[in-house]
Structure 1
Amino acid sequence: MLRKLYPIGIQTFEKIIDEDYLYIDKTEYVYRMTHSDSKFMFLSRPRRFGKSLLTSTLQCYFEGKRELFKGLAIEKKEKEWTEYPVLHFDMSGGKHMQPDALQRYLLFILELKETEYGIVADAPDPNVRLLNLINTVHQQTGKKVVVLIDEYDAPLLDVVHEEAQLGILRDIMRNFYSPLKYCEPKLQFVFLTGITKFSQMSIFSELNNIANISMLPKYAGICGITKEEIISQMSNDLSLFAENLGLTTAEALDRLQERYDGYHFTWPSSDVFNPFSLLNALANNNLDDYWFGTGTPTYLIEMMRKFDVKASDIGEGIEADKTEFDAPTECLETITPLLYQSGYLTIKNYNKETDLYTLDIPNKEIRVGLYRSLLPRFVGGKLQGRGLTTMAKMSLLIRQDHIEEALQMLQTFLGTIPYCDNTDYEGHYQQMLYVIFSLLTNYPMDVEVHTPKGRVDIVIMTNTNLYLLELKMNKSADAAMQQINLKNYSQRFALSGLPITKVGINFDSTTRNITDWIIER
């Protein structure tokens, strides 16, 4: 069996079609967007989810390139194929820039468009140049203009944790976008994509007629690849992948789902796979952390530090009102909106009676990658590689039910790591163990688990055992075990059907290491 090449890293619709790369047909969404009540739209999706390809597809559609859409869903729906002038701006080139550089970048991308239409302009203000560009193109062509802006928030993301710098760059972008409202009569369609959501007043000035389609059920699968699309459009690819891994197609799909699936941008919604990781896995016949391997955004790590986010607070089934996790970026009171908008949390359920959504980590790739990014807080950046090696060995020991040897290995490793700040409280070690055990197990785990008589610090459930871990600092492992037995924590988990292993652990704040432990089965 042969398969088409995958467009990994290719975001140009015309190139994908002309060179016969695999294309997951999203043109029905294009038709839906362009034949709806609103002509101004905004879509938020995580990085590498296909926003740029969608924008490129819209460009080809509005340019009337009907031949590219042969055999696709939109071919049967669209009857007119009217050609419009398209102004397509990619803001991803404006990252990591100081205000002056950002101004120059905006003038540069405007000049490229001006040259296309033979326009000579020398106004120093990007908003004036954009206004003139739209007006002139409209006059030249006699047609309304389409404006497509990809990654509109890219110049702002890296400074989202710096209030002063964010304010300056935000004003520059707000001024640039301001003509879109003024030129409304001359515009056929306006579409903006991004990762985060800034309020309309802060970014789009008076552009209050833009429809945010990010959470509308009819656009749930507009980006990414759904399970239904894999079955209907990639069945051959799935069979090849399964054959190369020695799996049945059902087993292969289960592996892919566990690793890359689980995204929902509304509820109810089809399961959405991360397209970048999925295509890389199929191309390489290997389940790896592709999306996370491209790097954790700096802004996210900085914001997690700013909000002092605990590892155990992420993805524990967070219940939230829509305004809490879809809040404008400049109005953040918690890290939850950024985690959701960036793809590290997703919707897992919705309760109509309470109007509350349940958020959680989408899949294994995100869970492991996120905790790996948090590991340097506890083991130091230079020792992170050694830490991951230790985690892998500990993982095998726990799967084999050798908790004693796993703790010995952890004690040896902790003796090698440098001083970390804020290690004089029990919660530090609880969070450190939570991150470590999250990395070394594929099993359910939780912290501060409530029982009738108290809370268990850490609970881990494997295929063969249920571990109850109680931590103490500057006391003794015996004191930790006494607490487990005194409050009869094991009674809470008696119905699990698994043997219960109780583990009392004591940390010393001076040596910053485990001093002793007790294990009772």
Structure 2
Amino acid sequence: MQYPIGIQDFASIIKGGLVYVDKTALVYDLSKTKGVYFLSRPRRFGKSLLVSTFKYYFEGRRDLFKGLKIDALEKDWNCYPVFEMDFNDSNYLEAGALEDTINYYLTKWEERYGVEPASSQAGRRFADVLHRAHEKTGKPCVVLVDEYDKPMLDVLDTGRKATADGNEQLLEDRNRDVLKAFYSVFKLADADLRFVFLTGVTRFAQVSVFSGFNNARDISMNPKYDTICGISKDELDSDFASSMAVLASTLELPVDEVRRQFQQKYDGYHFSTGMTDIYNPFSLLNAFSDGDLKDYWFASGTPSYLIRLLNHSDENIQDIIGRTYEAVEFADYRATVEAPVPMIYQSGYLTIKGYNREDDEYKLDFPNHEVASGFLAILASGYFHTQRPSNWATKMKKALHHGKPEAFRSLLNDFLASIPYSVRQGNGEKSHERQFQYSVYLIMRLIGSCRDTVYREKASSHGRADCVIETPKYVYIFEYKLDRPAAEAMQQIHDRGYAEPYAHDSREVYAIACSFSSETGTISDWEVSRE
């Protein structure tokens, strides 16, 4: 098989005989109703390919769709004037870059349809082009906008400024206003439009940019379109069965084990209450192509806007993933320094992991191990002021895999001793305790791998253990104390039966009581009991 890595043009994939997961039934379903539609998905999830598929479909290119699901559904294959905009190819850190991009597209379209600009306003110019195209072709127009939000994300929280009409304003506000005025065309040109489709990573601008037009339909959390981007489990089993067998042979592992590691590493995205499991297509295709299981998606680039936002936030990740949310809290509004959750979720670093229908509440967590390990490594680098906390985590992981809790203690203590004093400064006992809990949480989550499971506050019949790490051969039950004897923590493990769920487990089980010193920032007392 040949895999379309980095190829986002539908025609190139089909003509080149590359692997294509057939999404055309959903394309047909969505395109049947006139309207303005918006889809939010993380980067490298196939949004651009989807836009390209719409383009060729509305251009009537039936030859490209032979044998696909839409070929049996569509009977007319009408050709519409299509206007495609891709904001992903430019950098918007400089004032005027967005206006230049919009002007480039408008000038090209005006030349194509013989329109003399009658206004300097971009929205009005676009409306005139759409009207002329409708008149000349006799068909209403299709508008496709890919990565609509990039002009704002590039400058989000950078403090960069622009001057317009003699007034200075933040560049992110300027770009938002320019796009809002431009997108108002969808209201002005409603009679000339057949279908409008916009994609982006974030929906935070919906309350401002999209207010320029009415009746936009957001399908991002519609269960019907869960699989319109990404690869579902059924698609993995049907379209990549031979690829999975080849990969298993290359890795010298059973197919079922490769499938399990695939699931832990690349699966786990949920985009609605339907809770349909979606695999990251970029990582999956790269894994098949390379014959290896690496962190492809995360390594392809972490958005700088997200790092800027988190650097200014007072929230830490263990608090964010340890609670439930109403949809409005993470899906519908712009993230701020005080509330970064919407941006983290919409960017794909968190996903829906549970839904309570009765209370209409969602639980968020990392989608899979690839995202968790990469994201936590970045957070840890900033929090601990060290470039490679993952190096320490790798050594500690090896100690746990070989059943050496004392070696683990030594490594953990060395790591804690390396943390600058400024990181653990705080006012009062609760502040110190919170900092130690977060430090240990980051370390423990970094230790996790595809073969391990790390639980925070795992419940038993009588309480919750602070941390449980399950490896293929060993189980470690941790209880922490701050400035208290480790014996108290060990007594708590035994009194509350934290080890009882593993009574019939074939793995060796260790109870570990760990006491931290707020004065030294290291382990002051430690007890290990083999259960």
Work out whether the TM-score is over 0.5.
yes
Aligned to 2:445: 438
Secondary structure in 1 matching 2:474: coil
Q: Deviations over 1:129-188 (max 9, x none)?
A: 222222222233232111000111111113334684432221111011111111000001
Contact (CA 8 Å) 1:87, 1:145: kept in 2 or not?
A: yes
C-alpha root-mean-square deviation of aligned residues, in Å?
A: 2.6
Q: Is 1:468 the equivalent of 2:464?
A: no
CA drift of 1:236 comes to 1.6
Aligned partner letter, 1:25: D
Q: Deviations over 1:336-390 (max 9, x none)?
A: 222221111222232322222232211111111111111112332xx423x3222
Rounded Cα–Cα distance in structure 1 between residues aligned with 2:38 and 2:236: 26
Aligned to 1:93: 89
Contact (CA 8 Å) 1:66, 1:81: kept in 2 or not?
A: yes
Aligned to 1:388: 390
Between stretches 341-350 and 218-227, larger displacement belongs to 341-350
Q: Deviations over 1:485-508 (max 9, x none)?
A: 565565241422253413223235
Query: Which structure 2 residues correspond to residues 358-377 of structure 1 after superposition, within 5 A?
Result: 358-377=363-382
CA drift of 1:454 comes to 8.1
Aligned to 2:99: 103
When residues 100 and 491 of structure 1 are mapped into structure 2, their CA distance, relative to the original with a 3 A threshold, is same
Unmatched tracts of structure 1, length 5 or more: none
When residues 378 and 515 of structure 1 are mapped into structure 2, their CA distance, relative to the original with a 3 A threshold, is farther
CA drift of 1:94 comes to 4.0
Unmatched tracts of structure 2, length 5 or more: 160-169, 427-431, 504-508
Rounded Cα–Cα distance in structure 1 between residues aligned with 2:494 and 2:528: 14
When residues 352 and 451 of structure 1 are mapped into structure 2, their CA distance, relative to the original with a 3 A threshold, is closer
Aligned to 1:290: 296
Rounded Cα–Cα distance in structure 1 between residues aligned with 2:211 and 2:133: 23
When residues 461 and 202 of structure 1 are mapped into structure 2, their CA distance, relative to the original with a 3 A threshold, is same
Aligned to 1:354: 359
Aligned to 1:64: 60
Rounded Cα–Cα distance in structure 1 between residues aligned with 2:8 and 2:342: 27
When residues 453 and 229 of structure 1 are mapped into structure 2, their CA distance, relative to the original with a 3 A threshold, is closer
Aligned to 2:35: 39
Contact (CA 8 Å) 2:232, 2:277: kept in 1 or not?
A: yes
Q: Which of 494, 500, 504 in structure 2 is aligned with 1:495?
A: 500
When residues 54 and 22 of structure 1 are mapped into structure 2, their CA distance, relative to the original with a 3 A threshold, is same
Contact (CA 8 Å) 1:198, 1:330: kept in 2 or not?
A: yes
Q: Which of 4, 27, 36 in structure 2 is aligned with 1:7?
A: 4
Query: Which structure 2 residues correspond to residues 146-225 of structure 1 after superposition, within 5 A?
Result: 146-161=142-157, 164-198=170-204, 200-225=206-231
When residues 314 and 291 of structure 1 are mapped into structure 2, their CA distance, relative to the original with a 3 A threshold, is farther
Aligned to 1:80: 76
Contact (CA 8 Å) 1:161, 1:306: kept in 2 or not?
A: no
Rounded Cα–Cα distance in structure 1 between residues aligned with 2:206 and 2:299: 33
Rounded Cα–Cα distance in structure 2 between residues aligned with 1:209 and 1:337: 22
Q: Deviations over 1:173-208 (max 9, x none)?
A: 101111111100000110001111135441123412
Contact (CA 8 Å) 1:508, 1:515: kept in 2 or not?
A: no
Contact (CA 8 Å) 1:423, 1:512: kept in 2 or not?
A: no
Rounded Cα–Cα distance in structure 2 between residues aligned with 1:201 and 1:406: 50
Rounded Cα–Cα distance in structure 1 between residues aligned with 2:42 and 2:3: 20
Contact (CA 8 Å) 1:264, 1:271: kept in 2 or not?
A: yes
When residues 263 and 517 of structure 1 are mapped into structure 2, their CA distance, relative to the original with a 3 A threshold, is same
Query: Which structure 2 residues correspond to residues 222-233 of structure 1 after superposition, within 5 A?
Result: 222-233=228-239
Between stretches 421-430 and 174-183, larger displacement belongs to 421-430
Rounded Cα–Cα distance in structure 2 between residues aligned with 1:31 and 1:456: 51
Contact (CA 8 Å) 1:177, 1:204: kept in 2 or not?
A: yes
Q: Deviations over 1:268-294 (max 9, x none)?
A: 243110000000001001100000001
Q: Deviations over 1:419-446 (max 9, x none)?
A: 5445342322221221112111344434
Q: Which of 20, 23, 44 in structure 2 is aligned with 1:23?
A: 20
Query: Which structure 2 residues correspond to residues 249-264 of structure 1 after superposition, within 5 A?
Result: 249-264=255-270
Contact (CA 8 Å) 1:470, 1:480: kept in 2 or not?
A: no
Aligned partner letter, 2:19: L
Rounded Cα–Cα distance in structure 1 between residues aligned with 2:37 and 2:203: 13
When residues 492 and 119 of structure 1 are mapped into structure 2, their CA distance, relative to the original with a 3 A threshold, is farther
When residues 255 and 445 of structure 1 are mapped into structure 2, their CA distance, relative to the original with a 3 A threshold, is closer
Between stretches 54-63 and 166-175, larger displacement belongs to 166-175
Aligned partner letter, 1:50: G
Aligned partner letter, 1:441: G
Rounded Cα–Cα distance in structure 2 between residues aligned with 1:159 and 1:433: 34
Aligned to 1:311: 317
Aligned partner letter, 1:214: S
Aligned partner letter, 2:278: V
When residues 253 and 502 of structure 1 are mapped into structure 2, their CA distance, relative to the original with a 3 A threshold, is closer
Secondary structure in 1 matching 2:517: strand
Q: Deviations over 1:184-236 (max 9, x none)?
A: 00001100011111354411234121111111111110000111111222222
Contact (CA 8 Å) 1:321, 1:357: kept in 2 or not?
A: yes
Rounded Cα–Cα distance in structure 2 between residues aligned with 1:367 and 1:123: 50
Rounded Cα–Cα distance in structure 2 between residues aligned with 1:459 and 1:304: 27
Question: TM-score by structure 2 length?
Answer: 0.88
When residues 289 and 154 of structure 1 are mapped into structure 2, their CA distance, relative to the original with a 3 A threshold, is same
Question: TM-score by structure 1 length?
Answer: 0.90
Rounded Cα–Cα distance in structure 2 between residues aligned with 1:489 and 1:94: 60
Q: Deviations over 1:401-458 (max 9, x none)?
A: 2121122123334444555445342322221221112111344434466789987544
Contact (CA 8 Å) 1:453, 1:487: kept in 2 or not?
A: no
Q: Is 1:329 the equivalent of 2:326?
A: no
Secondary structure in 2 matching 1:375: helix
Aligned to 1:265: 271
CA drift of 1:31 comes to 0.4
Q: Is 1:338 the equivalent of 2:343?
A: yes
When residues 100 and 419 of structure 1 are mapped into structure 2, their CA distance, relative to the original with a 3 A threshold, is farther
Contact (CA 8 Å) 1:244, 1:285: kept in 2 or not?
A: yes
Query: Which structure 2 residues correspond to residues 387-426 of structure 1 after superposition, within 5 A?
Result: 387-416=389-418, 418=420, 420-424=422-426, 425-426=432-433
Aligned partner letter, 1:249: V
Rounded Cα–Cα distance in structure 2 between residues aligned with 1:370 and 1:492: 33
Aligned to 2:128: 132
Aligned partner letter, 2:349: Y
Q: Deviations over 1:251-278 (max 9, x none)?
A: 2221111110111111224311000000
Contact (CA 8 Å) 1:296, 1:373: kept in 2 or not?
A: no
Contact (CA 8 Å) 2:115, 2:128: kept in 1 or not?
A: no
